[in-house]
Chain A
Amino acid sequence: MDVGHEAILRVFLAEAEESFLDLEEALIRLESYPDDEEALGTLFRRVHSLKGDASSLGFERVTAFAHAMENVLDRLRSHALFVGRELVTVLLRCIDELRRMVPAAPSGGDVVSEEGKALLDQLAAMLGGGALDLPEAEARQQGVAPTYRPGGQARTLRVDVEKLDRMLGLVGEIIVARNRMGRALASEEGREGTREGTLEMAREGAPGRSEMAQSQEETDRLFTELRSTIMQARMVPIGHTFRGYTRAVRDLAGKAGKIARLKIEGQEVEVDTRIVEQIRDPLTHMIGNAIGHGIEPPAARVAAGKDPCGRIVLRARHAHGAIVVEVADDGAGLDRGKILEQARALGLVGEGAEPPDEELFQCVFHPGFSTAQAITTSAGRGVGMDVVRRNVEAVRGSVSIESRAREGCTITLRLPLTLAIIEGFTVGVGTERYVLPLDAIQECIDLPERERENCERRGVINLRGRPLPYLRLRALLRVGGAAPVRESVVVVEHEGKQVGLVVDELEGKSQMVIKPLGPLLQGLPGLSGSTILEDGEVALILDVGGVCRLALQEGAHGGLGPHGNSGALGAHGAHGALGAHEARELPHGVARRPRMSVPPTGRT
C-alpha cells in the first residue's frame, strides 16, 4: 500500500508540473489571442483534472485553490468575463502559488500563503464581489471518484537515467568481453588477435569453430541493436524544456518594460536527457540576453517599423547527425560599436584594428565580457556567454553567433545527438592511445617530410595552398619517447577553423560508449571523457575545442616564427596581461589573427 501510494504521489507531482507548463502556455496564448477557444479549453481541462487528482489524494487546500481558479475560468468560457493582461497576470501568479503548494501537499504543508490569499481575493473580486470561501464539502463531493484517465495513452514508465547508463555500460562491457573471446579463439589458431583473424578462422577452420565465429557475429549484431534501443530510451522531446521559457519570456520582458513572446519550433525533436540538462542554463542566459539587449522597447520598435511585440524563437532541428538549437530574436542585433570598445578595453582587439563582424562577435564569449551599462536581472549580452560556451562544449557541442544590425541576432548551438556514445577515431601517440570525435575530423594526411626535421611542438604546413597550423599531441600531452619516422596529421575543424594534430598512428574509427571521468578528474582542459577500447584498456577522449584553443593560442604566442608577431601586437599583449589561465579562454577569432598573417608561401 505504502509503495503504491508513493508511486501515485510521484506520478501526481510529475503530472502537476506538466500541467503548470501547459497552463502557462495556454494563458500566455490567451493573452495574445483572447478568442482562442482551444487554449481556454486546455486551461479549463488542466485545472479541472488537477483539482480532481488533488481531491482524490485528499489534498483539500490544493483542491480548493484550483476550484477558485476554475470558477474564474468558467466565467471566461461563458464570456461573462474577458481576458485581460491583469487577469492573466493573476492567474499566472496563481500557478506559482500552486507550484509551491503541490509539492508540499503530501506532507500537509500546502498552506495558502499570504500572497495566495490575496490572489484568492482578487479572483473573488473578478467574480463580482462574492467571497470565494468554498465549502470544503463541495470540493470533496467533486472528488469522490478518483479521476480515471481513459485508455489510449501510450504505456510509459519513468526510469532513472542512471539505470539506462548502467545498462549501456554493461552492453559495452559485454562487447569488450566478446572481443576478448574472439581474440582468444583467434590466437588459439596461431593467428594474430585481430577481428580479421576471427573471420578468417571462420572460413578456414573446423566446422565447430566456424559456427562459433558465426554466433559471435550474430551476437555482435544483437548487441548493436540493444545498444541503440537503450540509446533511444534516453531521448526526450526538447519541447518540454522549451515550453518552460514561454512564461519566462513574458515576465522578463514585462520587467524590462518591453513586450515579447516566445515562438517554439521543432519541439518534437528528440535529444539525450543529459544534453537537455546541460543546455538549460545556456538557454536561460541567451533568452535573458535577447530580452535585455536584443528586443527594443515598444516605442523604439514602432519607430523602426516593427511589431511592438518582440519575437523570440526557440528552434530545434536535426542537421548532419547533430542537433541544432537556435535562439533568434528580432531585436536590434549586437551593438558593434560597444563590443569593439569593450574588446579594445580588454585588449582582445588591437587599437585601430577593425575586425570583421564574424570575428569581433566571438569576443562576447570571453569571460567577463559585457556591454551592459547597468547590471539587471537579465544581465547584459555577453555576461554569461562564456558560461554558455563552456556548458555547450562540455557536451561536445559548439556555439556560434550571427547578428544583423536592426534585424536581430541568432545564436546557434550545435549539439551531439547523444552523450552516451561517440563515433570515435583512435590515434596512437607513443604507447598511449587517444580518441577524437569523428565528426570533428576533416581528413588525415602524412606530415610532410620537411616538417619531420622540425621537432618543435608546432608549426605550419601548406594544406592545398592554405596555411594549416599544427600541434604535436606528443608535446601537448607530454607523452614520453621519440617520434617515429612517419607521423600523421589529423585535420580537425572547430568553429570554422582548421588545426592539424600530429600523431604517431591512425588506428581507425568505431562506436564507443563514453565514460565520464568522474568528479575527481572533471574539468581538465582538452579532455572530454574516456572510453573503453575493444581490448578493455581505457582511452581518453580529447575535447577538440579545448585542444584547438590551446593550439591556436600557442600560435599567438609567437610560435610561428618571425612572421608570427607582425600585426598581432594587440592579441599578443593581451596574453601577457591576462596570465596563463585566462589566456587559455581567449576566443578563437582573436587568437587566430597572428596565424593569418603568416605568408602561406615558403613553408611547405
Chain B
Amino acid sequence: MKQGHTIEQFLTFFVGGEELAINILRIREIVAYRTPTRIPGAAAALRGVINLRGTVVPILDLGIKLGLGEHPVSKNTCVVVVEVILDGHLTGVGVVAESVGQVVELSPGDIEQPPALGMRIQGNAVIGLGKLATSFFPILDVDALLGHGSELHGALGAAFGEEHARGLPPGGGPEEGREATPARPRAPHATPR
C-alpha cells in the first residue's frame, strides 16, 4: 500500500478473444510466435519449449490454462515472455497471445477488485480489473499463474504414456485452474505493485 499512489503500466494482450493485462515490470520481451518443441507428458497447457537466444523457455497456452478456449495461430500471434521466480531463480516463461493490445497507465483508483461472479476467468489468477474508458480488463497475477503452487509446477510427470494417465492426481489436470489454491504471501486482490 506504500506505493499506492504511483501510476503503473500494464501491457494488454488477447487470449481467446479476451483482453488481459500483465504489469509491464514483469514482462521481459515480446517475440514472434514459432512452433515450440512439444514435451511429451507435460500438461496440455504447456505447448512446449522454444530457444530464446540460447535459453530454453517453456511456452504456456493461457487459453487452455484459463479455460478461454483455443485459438488458431495467425500472423499476429506472439509470445509474451514473463518473468517468474521459480526455485529461487528468475525464470522466463512464454505466454501465447493472439495479439498484443496496448500499454495502459493505471493509477490505483483505476483498478477495481475482481467481482466474485460473472468473470470468465475463475480463481485467484486475477488480481484486479483495470478500468478503461469503455471497458474492463482482468489484470493477471503472474506468480499465481506460473509460480510455485500453481498446478503447472511439479504435477506434470504422471501423464507420460497411456497407462500413466491414470496416475494424474485427481483435479490436477491443467483445465481445472480454479482448483489450485496456492499459498501466496499477498491477498489476491491487493493493489498491484
A→B interface (CB under 8 Å): 169-170, 172-173, 176, 432, 476-479, 515-527, 530, 532, 536-540, 550, 554, 557, 579-581, 583-584
The reply to whether A525 and B55 contact each other, CB–CB distance below 8 Å, is no
Interface size class of B (residues with CB under 8 A): 35 or more
List 15 other contacts, CB 8 Å, given A479-B40, A536-B51. A169-B55, A173-B54, A476-B161, A478-B161, A515-B56, A518-B56, A521-B42, A521-B58, A527-B41, A532-B54, A532-B56, A538-B36, A538-B49, A539-B37, A580-B163
Contact A521 B49 (CB under 8 A): yes
Q: Are A518 and B58 in contact (CB under 8 A)?
A: yes
Given A523-B154, A580-B164; A537-B55 close (CB under 8 Å) = no
- Residues from chain A with Cβ under 8 Å of B39 in the complex: 517, 521, 524, 527, 540
Q: Could you tell me the distance between the alpha carbons of A569 and B93 in the complex, rounded to whole angstroms? A: 47
Binary per-residue interface labels of chain B (73-115) against chain A in the complex, 1 for a CB within 8 Å, 0 otherwise: 0000000000000110101010000000000000000000000
Given the interface contacts A478-B40, A521-B39, does A538 sit within 8 Å of B54 by beta carbon? no
Quick check: A526 and B164 within 8 Å, CB to CB?
Answer: no
B23-39 residues at the A interface, CB under 8 angstroms: 36-39
Nearest B residue to A172 via CB reads B54
The answer to the question of B66 belonging to the interface, with a C-beta cut-off of 8 Å to chain A, is no
A520 and B157 within 8 A (CB)? no
Given contacts A524-B39, A538-B49, contact A581 B158 (CB under 8 A): yes
> In this assembly, does B156 line the interface, its C-beta being within 8 Å of a C-beta of chain A?
yes
A538 and B56: CB pair below 8 A? yes
Q: How far is the CB of B145 from chain A (nearest CB, A)?
A: 12
Cβ–Cβ contact B86 & A519, under 8 A = yes
Question: Can you report 27 A-B residue pairs in the complex whose CB atoms are below 8 A from each other?
Answer: A432-B38, A516-B56, A517-B39, A518-B57, A518-B91, A519-B91, A520-B46, A520-B86, A520-B93, A521-B49, A523-B156, A524-B39, A526-B40, A526-B160, A527-B41, A530-B49, A530-B56, A538-B36, A550-B160, A550-B161, A557-B163, A580-B158, A580-B163, A580-B167, A581-B158, A581-B164, A581-B167
Instruction: List residues of chain A with CB within 8 A of the CB of B50.
Output: 538
Task: Identify the interface centre among A478, A538, A557, A581: most chain B CB within 10 Å of its CB.
Answer: A538
B residues near A550, Cβ cutoff 8 Å: 160-161
**Bound: A483/B73 CA distance, A:** 27
Q: B55 contacts A538, CB within 8 Å? A: no
- List CB contacts (< 8 Å) of B140-191 with chain A: 146, 152-154, 156-158, 160-161, 163-164, 166-167
Known A-B contacts A526-B41, A538-B51; A520 and B167 likewise in contact (beta carbons under 8 Å): no
Q: A478-B40, A538-B49, A540-B39 are in contact. Are A519 and B153 (CB under 8 A)?
A: yes
- A557 and B153 CA atoms in complex are apart in Å by 30
**CA of A515 to CA of B56 in the docked complex: distance in angstroms?**
7
Shortest Cβ distance from residue A186 to the other chain B in the assembled complex, whole angstroms: 21
Interface residue B2 (Cβ < 8 Å from any Cβ of A): no
Whether B120 sits at the interface, judged by CB under 8 Å, is no
CA distance A172 to B55 in the complex (A): 10
Candidate in B86, B87, B160, B167 with the most chain A CB atoms within 10 angstroms: B160
Cα separation A479 to B158 with both chains bound (whole Å): 18
Task: State the Cβ distance, A272 to closest chain B Cβ, in Å.
Answer: 19
A580 to B167, CA, bound (A): 6
For B93, list chain A residues within 8 Å (CB): 520
* B53 interface contact, C-beta 8 A: yes
CB of A524 within 8 A of CB of B160, answer yes
Known: A540-B37, A581-B167. A519 touches B54 (CB 8 A): no
Chain A hits for B48, CB < 8 A: 538
Q: How far is the CB of B39 from chain A (nearest CB, A)?
A: 6
CB of A178, distance to nearest CB on chain B (Å): 13
Complex formed: what's the CA distance from A525 to B54 in Å?
Answer: 24
Q: What's the nearest-Cβ distance from chain B to residue A388, in Å? A: 20
Closest to B93 in A: A520
Per the bound structure, the CA–CA distance linking A530 and B49 in Å amounts to 9
Closest chain A CB from B86 CB (angstroms): 4
Measured CA separation A11–B152 after assembly (Å): 41
Smallest CB–CB gap between A539 and chain B, Å? Answer: 7
Neighbouring A residues of B154 by C-beta, 8 Å: 522-523
Within 8 Å CB of B55, what residues of A? 169, 515
Query: What B residues does A524 contact at CB under 8 A?
Result: 39-42, 156-157, 160
B91: A residues at CB distance < 8 A: 518-520
Complex Cα spacing A525 to B167, Å = 12
Residues on A with beta carbons closer than 8 Å to the beta carbon of B161 = 476, 478, 550
Residue in chain B with minimal CB distance to A523? B157
Chain B: CB-nearest residue to A533: B51
Does B41 contact A170, Cβ atoms closer than 8 Å? no
B37 touches A584 (CB 8 A): no
Q: Which residues of A contact B158 (CB under 8 A)?
A: 580-581
Interface pair B56/A520, CB less than 8 Å apart: no
Residues of B within 8 A of A525 (CB): 41, 157, 160, 164
Cα distance A526–B156 in the bound complex, in angstroms: 13
- For the complex, give the distance between the alpha carbons of A540 and B58 in Å: 13
B-chain residues with CB within 8 Å of residue A515 when the two chains form the complex: 55-56
The docked-state distance in angstroms from the alpha carbon of A52 to that of B26 is: 49
Whether B157 contacts A173 by the Cβ 8 Å rule is no
Cβ-defined contact, B166 with A580, below 8 A:
yes
Q: Which residue of B lies closest to A162 (CB)?
A: B89
**Cα A537 to Cα B87 with chains together (Å):** 26
- Give the complex CA separation of A517 and B154 in angstroms: 12
Hey, which chain A residues are within 8 Å of B87, CB to CB?
519
Contact status A521-B156, CB under 8 Å: yes
| C-alpha gap A520/B146 in the complex (Å) | 8
Most buried by A among B36, B54, B55, B157: B54
Q: When chains A and B are docked, how far (Å) is the Cα of A583 from the Cα of B51?
A: 34
- Interchain CA distance A411-B19 in the complex, whole Å: 58
- A residues less than 8 Å from B37 (CB atoms): 432, 530, 537-540
The 8 closest A-B pairs by CB, nearest first: A173-B54, A519-B86, A477-B40, A538-B37, A581-B167, A515-B56, A519-B87, A580-B167
